[in-house]
Structure 1
Amino acid sequence: MINYPNDLDLRRLVRFSAEDGTIWLAEHRMVLLHTGALAGLRKELLNSVGLEHARRVLTRMGYESGVRDAELAKKLRAGQSVVDAFVVGPQLHMLEGIVKVTPLAIDMDVKAGRFYGEFQWDNSWEAESHVKEFGPQKDPVCWMLLGYASGYTTTFMGRFILFKETQCVACGDPHCHIVGKPVEEWPDAAQHTVYYEADSIVSRLLELRTQVDALRSSLDQQRQVENLIGSSPPFRRACDLVEKAAKTNVTVLLTGETGVGKERFARALHDMSKRADRPFVAVNCAALPHDLVESELFGVEKGAFTGAHATRAGKFERAEGGTLFLDEIGELPLAAQAKILRVLQEGEIERLGDDQTRKVNVRIVAATNVELQRAVKDGRFRADLYYRLNVYPIEIPPLRERALDIPPLVNAMIEKFNAMHGKRVAGITDKAMKALKAYQWPGNVRELENMIERGIILAPADGWIELEHLFPSLGEAEMRSIGIGEQGILTEARPLEQERLCDAIMGSGMSLDDIESMLLREAVERSDGNLAGAARMLGLTRPQLTYRLKRNQDHAPDKE
């Protein structure tokens, strides 16, 4: 029989946070469920889809849980022996209240791919619940537990390890007993691997649900705007305004904080309009030098100024028939504002250095992150141009007001950067996602995109993006400030410094009396023999210090 290493490192990973209704195992969110509720779900599955399909669903559910725990195990005890690292899984299974696991035999070599394991299970919630609902069984029934063992070991070993339950309490055996080895070493593997495959009934149900959702969506006329990801109410209101504007030629003013995605909204507006097959030209007005603004927007004739060696069309002419997106329009000089007003009113431009007017057919979409009304009052923006642009304003909500949209945005960004960097990550941990939802996002979607790209780069291949990958420059205290707290630890919550101190003391091998004597002597030495000062240093009264010094002296061993 194999002895487990101390599981204190695992217990410290489990935290309860009653204030926000969450439980954490490292960076993954957990839940506490009554076994009666799980038994009820199990019963409903068996009664509705039958034993074979219910077993498949439950096995796959356990397999996924094992995969998550194995990813944690490989990190947690990376510097220890392979067996000590592997038994994190059985220890976690016990800590999670699933079953008592006793390792009987483990023979493993990760590099060579060799594995053989035998384990005894006691107090299996699955066996107890099944017998309670359906009575004694002919065949083993710990399907979720078996799936967990296979998923955990497969992920740990890097090859498919199949476990079989050879004894089960539900069949009248005194214990549940499982054996695991590589799938190709089981002559009857095909009879068991079928339960790890996708369930055809579930797939058909999901397909049917997708069709129903699509029909319901069309009936409700809630078409998702292409390239715009989100379903939160403020985001949907902005998308609805874009859809309505796309059917017209109205000038649109997009407002919102920097990084909210104003250009993406402008492109979506263009793509949904009748101008979609014509050019979309974007101009960042804040990036244009003031002395070149007019030539860039309206074009220039040869010889109009020093350095104008050739006639050149401006942005308005290049966007002919399409859409011109003027980002940060509030940064334009007043002279350029007057000419843009003329384009809006007359639909014509003049190139710099030319006296000929040219008709243009361009839809203007402007954007700004400054308050134009205040700019008008300050004399920095023309009032007549403001009123002309403000015919159809659309305010893009900041990311902090659309927390519901963060998960789909993150998933889309992960897919994008996986392809861009030729690297695959499995996703983002629950704890990291919670931090993203709690963060205030001063840089909005642009900041989120930069953060996810950094996470992709820092996360291990095929691993998970964790909190430290998203906020690599933050310390633990700063991590807590963005919503990931220490509340609810199974033992009394304490600062990290105290935790390290306790580890050092426990690892020293000193007894409690030795530690007390050491502290008393150190306090007296640091106070230069002043007992009153030493007592204050230790938070004691002088009589209390005197008593402890005498007691330690009396108990000290005689030196010969």
Structure 2
Amino acid sequence: MTIIRYPESNDLRNLVKFCEKDGTIWLAENRMVLMHTSALGALRRELVGSVGKEHARRLLTRMGYAAGVCDAELAKRIRGHQSLQDAFFTGPQLHMLEGIVRVTPIDMKLDFDSGTFSGEFLWENSWEQDIHLRELGQSDEPVCWSQIGYASGYTSAFMGRFILFKEVECVACGHNNCRIVGKPLEEWEDADQHAGYFESDSMLNHLLELRHQVDYLRTTISQQGQAPQLVGNSKGFQHAYDLVTRASGTQVTVLLLGETGVGKERFARTLHQMSNRKQGPFIAVNCAAMPNDLIESELFGVEKGAFTGAQTSRMGKFERADGGTLFLDEIGELPLAAQAKLLRVLQEGEIERLGDDRVRKLNIRLVAATNVDLQAAVKAGRFRSDLYYRLSVYPIQIPPLRERIADIPLLIEAMVTRFGTLYEKKLLGVSDKAMQAIKHYQWPGNVRELENMIERGIILAPNGGWIELEHLFANVADSDFSEAQISQAGSLEQKQEPCASAGLIDAILASGIPFEDLENRLIDEAVKRADGNLAGAARTLGITRPQLQYRLKKKDGG
């Protein structure tokens, strides 16, 4: 009898990190939780009692299937450079590391090229059969539903075809151990009977469909006409959006306030699209980007010969916005002379081109925006008080992104969809750890900074994979997000920096090898042992992948 052995699991234990100060547990980039099995048992009992055994089994099987798919993605990432068997055994080893069940391989055959798979495994100390016996008693049928879902989901995702596992023996049925057998779906005679547990529940789907209809009606009522470029459900966002909605039916001048990058122009465009001017032009002007000596001509137009170089007459931004909306961003940067003319436009609804005495009547809606304190600018003499009072009739404060934490997942989802289409990449989304880091970040650049970061993540992430922490935050070390790890003995230990023995240090110092050469040799050896996999080499060296890439570039003279 051939004994099948697992590879060393140190690489897997090192992926599990506990961060007490943040209240999080991590398995690589995936957030995990520790739960009492008694609580899971109570949930199982409630499910069986409320929706019946078959529906409960289907739910738990699909839950396990989803977990297995997640671990298969992790296995390919961390052991993709190892042998096919060692890479596959990541799943059973993770199943044990996660406290689900002890897995002993009895027989296994797998071949990627032909899609061949057959496997038999022994399960011991299954938490699922234990709590089923405790809560529901002995069963006539196997009860490790979520574990079967996990094994099927993991193997199916790993092999790229549906592999169905069945529990042929179960402790809850009176056997000494639980035993499972897996092979392709079509090779099972009763495939249809078991495949149904991996499909959506028709009754639950109907309930969810009714819920979606209710949610849709609520959304339609509360956000009727919301423009697609505005995304958010937080209280601060909804308050600002409500003010925009109320202003859209009037002609009031609106002043948008907020930090750089919060989306003031998008709010202005939304206001325009919701108003009765939406068929007219929307003209956006960045006052801070125009030279002082050209501001008046750019805003109000110029007549031929008004100054040297004015060879033709041309209209300004105000005339171009006639019948629509003019958005003046960074209005606090306007010089005092231009402020005086702007005040007249607001009061009289007319302009005069530079070098012309003819008055032109205009019909525009003015929306201004600034990220500076205009009241302070008035006191300092940099902004006209009469213009300030004229502009601040209807101020709208747009909250910074750090005060809109609830909106971040929605914003990211929209950005991933948009940039994924732009760069023709299909991604699974942002990993749990990356999302945690995003939510804790202070976002000095607000939504614009988030947008740039997600675009970079889309470019760097592998097609079909997750956007991970290293794709977003190049300078954040993994140690910033972890406190303790699982030791080989199974206890929690504070993460320690690798410490060489005194003898090794003496040998290195005595060798006379320059420090830079020593570092280069270590890097080359780590990359060689990882078969060129930079992520694996970085873990061996105890640094992040971006840090390794920096050192490789430096080593190669880049």
Same fold (TM > 0.5)? yes
Matched, 1:485 2:482: yes
Structure of larger gyration radius: 1
Residues 519, 188 of structure 1: alpha-carbon distance in 2 compared, 3 angstrom cutoff = closer
Residues 431, 520 of structure 1: alpha-carbon distance in 2 compared, 3 angstrom cutoff = closer
Q: 1:71, CA displacement in angstroms? A: 1.0
- What does the per-residue CA deviation read over 1:323-379, in whole Å, with 9 as the maximum and x for residues that have no partner? 111011111222221111111000001122222111111110000111112222222
1:183 alignment counterpart: 185
Aligned partner of residue 314 in structure 2, secondary structure: coil
2:106 alignment counterpart: 104
Residues 476, 120 of structure 1: alpha-carbon distance in 2 compared, 3 angstrom cutoff = closer
2:296 alignment counterpart: 294
Map residues 55-454 of structure 1 onto 2, 5 A cutoff.
55-215=57-217, 221=222, 225-226=226-227, 227-454=229-456
Alpha-carbon distance between aligned partners in 2 of 1:445 and 1:405, rounded to the nearest angstrom: 10
Q: 1:198, CA displacement in angstroms? A: 1.6
Alpha-carbon distance between aligned partners in 2 of 1:524 and 1:270, rounded to the nearest angstrom: 71
Alpha-carbon distance between aligned partners in 1 of 2:507 and 2:362, rounded to the nearest angstrom: 86
Report if aligned partners of 1:5, 1:84 keep a CA contact under 8 Å in 2.
yes
Alpha-carbon distance between aligned partners in 2 of 1:222 and 1:263, rounded to the nearest angstrom: 20
Map residues 492-507 of structure 1 onto 2, 5 A cutoff.
492-498=493-499, 501=500
Paired residues, number: 504
* AA aligned opposite 2:174: G
Alpha-carbon distance between aligned partners in 2 of 1:463 and 1:231, rounded to the nearest angstrom: 28
Report if aligned partners of 2:20, 2:483 keep a CA contact under 8 Å in 1.
no
Report if aligned partners of 1:59, 1:147 keep a CA contact under 8 Å in 2.
yes
Matched, 1:9 2:6: no
Aligned partner of residue 494 in structure 2, secondary structure: coil
Aligned partner of residue 263 in structure 1, secondary structure: helix
> Residue 23 of structure 1: which of 22, 25, 28 is its match?
25
* AA aligned opposite 1:166: V
1:459 alignment counterpart: 461
Identity of aligned residues (%): 64
Alpha-carbon distance between aligned partners in 2 of 1:112 and 1:291, rounded to the nearest angstrom: 73
Alpha-carbon distance between aligned partners in 2 of 1:524 and 1:88, rounded to the nearest angstrom: 39
* AA aligned opposite 1:485: S
Aligned partner of residue 250 in structure 2, secondary structure: coil
- What does the per-residue CA deviation read over 1:494-518, in whole Å, with 9 as the maximum and x for residues that have no partner? 34444xx4xxxxxxxxxxxxx67x3
Residues 294, 27 of structure 1: alpha-carbon distance in 2 compared, 3 angstrom cutoff = same
Alpha-carbon distance between aligned partners in 1 of 2:409 and 2:478, rounded to the nearest angstrom: 24
Q: 1:47, CA displacement in angstroms? A: 1.9
Larger mean Cα displacement after TM superposition, 125-134 or 420-429? 125-134
Structure 2 unmatched runs, 5+: 512-558
Q: 1:195, CA displacement in angstroms? A: 1.6
Larger mean Cα displacement after TM superposition, 224-233 or 282-291? 224-233
Alpha-carbon distance between aligned partners in 2 of 1:180 and 1:342, rounded to the nearest angstrom: 80
Q: 1:291, CA displacement in angstroms? A: 2.3
Report if aligned partners of 2:225, 2:274 keep a CA contact under 8 Å in 1.
no
2:536 alignment counterpart: none
Residues 81, 365 of structure 1: alpha-carbon distance in 2 compared, 3 angstrom cutoff = same
Aligned partner of residue 210 in structure 1, secondary structure: helix
Aligned partner of residue 381 in structure 2, secondary structure: coil
* AA aligned opposite 1:492: E
Alpha-carbon distance between aligned partners in 2 of 1:365 and 1:115, rounded to the nearest angstrom: 65
Alpha-carbon distance between aligned partners in 1 of 2:320 and 2:163, rounded to the nearest angstrom: 62
* AA aligned opposite 1:285: C
Report if aligned partners of 2:240, 2:398 keep a CA contact under 8 Å in 1.
yes
Alpha-carbon distance between aligned partners in 2 of 1:18 and 1:54, rounded to the nearest angstrom: 34
Aligned partner of residue 120 in structure 1, secondary structure: strand
Larger mean Cα displacement after TM superposition, 183-192 or 163-172? 183-192
Report if aligned partners of 1:18, 1:488 keep a CA contact under 8 Å in 2.
no
2:49 alignment counterpart: 47
1:557 alignment counterpart: none
Q: Normalising by the residue count of structure 2, what TM-score does the alignment of the two structures yield?
A: 0.85
Matched, 1:471 2:468: no
Alpha-carbon distance between aligned partners in 2 of 1:255 and 1:71, rounded to the nearest angstrom: 44
Q: 1:223, CA displacement in angstroms? A: 5.6
Alpha-carbon distance between aligned partners in 2 of 1:521 and 1:277, rounded to the nearest angstrom: 79
Alpha-carbon distance between aligned partners in 1 of 2:402 and 2:172, rounded to the nearest angstrom: 51
Q: 1:79, CA displacement in angstroms? A: 2.5
Alpha-carbon distance between aligned partners in 2 of 1:276 and 1:162, rounded to the nearest angstrom: 56
* AA aligned opposite 1:343: V
Residues 65, 453 of structure 1: alpha-carbon distance in 2 compared, 3 angstrom cutoff = same
Residues 21, 476 of structure 1: alpha-carbon distance in 2 compared, 3 angstrom cutoff = closer
Report if aligned partners of 1:17, 1:488 keep a CA contact under 8 Å in 2.
no
Report if aligned partners of 2:484, 2:492 keep a CA contact under 8 Å in 1.
no
- What does the per-residue CA deviation read over 1:96-143, in whole Å, with 9 as the maximum and x for residues that have no partner? 111111111121122332222111111212222223333322222211
Residues 524, 122 of structure 1: alpha-carbon distance in 2 compared, 3 angstrom cutoff = closer
Aligned partner of residue 35 in structure 2, secondary structure: coil
Q: 1:155, CA displacement in angstroms? A: 1.4
- What does the per-residue CA deviation read over 1:47-68, in whole Å, with 9 as the maximum and x for residues that have no partner? 2222222221111100110011
Alpha-carbon distance between aligned partners in 1 of 2:129 and 2:172, rounded to the nearest angstrom: 5
Report if aligned partners of 1:399, 1:444 keep a CA contact under 8 Å in 2.
yes
Larger mean Cα displacement after TM superposition, 487-496 or 14-23? 487-496
Larger mean Cα displacement after TM superposition, 239-248 or 302-311? 302-311
Report if aligned partners of 2:169, 2:177 keep a CA contact under 8 Å in 1.
yes
* AA aligned opposite 2:482: G
- What does the per-residue CA deviation read over 1:424-479, in whole Å, with 9 as the maximum and x for residues that have no partner? 110111111110011111111000000011111111111111100001244446xx
Aligned partner of residue 492 in structure 1, secondary structure: strand
Alpha-carbon distance between aligned partners in 1 of 2:63 and 2:417, rounded to the nearest angstrom: 24
Q: 1:39, CA displacement in angstroms? A: 1.6
Q: 1:225, CA displacement in angstroms? A: 3.7
Report if aligned partners of 1:59, 1:144 keep a CA contact under 8 Å in 2.
yes
Q: 1:184, CA displacement in angstroms? A: 2.7
Residues 192, 519 of structure 1: alpha-carbon distance in 2 compared, 3 angstrom cutoff = closer
* AA aligned opposite 1:315: K
- What does the per-residue CA deviation read over 1:269-299, in whole Å, with 9 as the maximum and x for residues that have no partner? 1122222222211111111222222222122
Alpha-carbon distance between aligned partners in 1 of 2:363 and 2:509, rounded to the nearest angstrom: 89
